[in-house]
Amino acid sequence: MSIVVALSKSERRTRIMDFAVEEAKFRNEKLIIVHSLFGGSRTSEEEITEGESLLKWAEEKAKAEGIDVETHLLVRGKEAGDDIIDFIREVKPKMVIVGVRRRSPTGKVIFGSVPQKIILNSDVPVVSIR
């Protein structure tokens, strides 16, 4: 089995990866690290490069701790929350790790929340890191 880590460029990425690495060690599981971008005209080359760099950083962090890891940059024409939920259903991990941040109720309504969508729609347990 595996642990999916939904990773973004947030300032919490180090905390999320630290937790994910420790959890993978404890459970003796592979990490599957995923970052989602919409694609097409809604995604710039710079965003793709940043996503690739983020995943490379996370992969190196996991490998340095002896963790089996794979990364996926999803650019499939879907909103990030929907894309990651579909990915979770495809790979059937043991659990999912996401980062969350405090947002006002209005902010959630206007901007939505990828972690919220994952937490509410995942078929497997989700750990949220704040």
What is the per-residue pLDDT across 105-126, written as a single tens digit (0 to 9) for each? Answer: 765 554 458 998 999 999 999 9
Level-2 CATH architecture, domain 2-129: 3-Layer(aba) Sandwich (3.40)
Distance CA 108, CA 106 (A): 5
Could you tell me the residue ranges of all domains in the chain?
2-129
What is the per-residue pLDDT across 34-47, written as a single tens digit (0 to 9) for each? Answer: 999 998 888 999 99
What is the per-residue pLDDT across 92-105, written as a single tens digit (0 to 9) for each? Answer: 999 999 998 776 77
- List the alpha helices (DSSP H) in the chain: 13-27, 45-64, 80-91, 105-111, 114-121
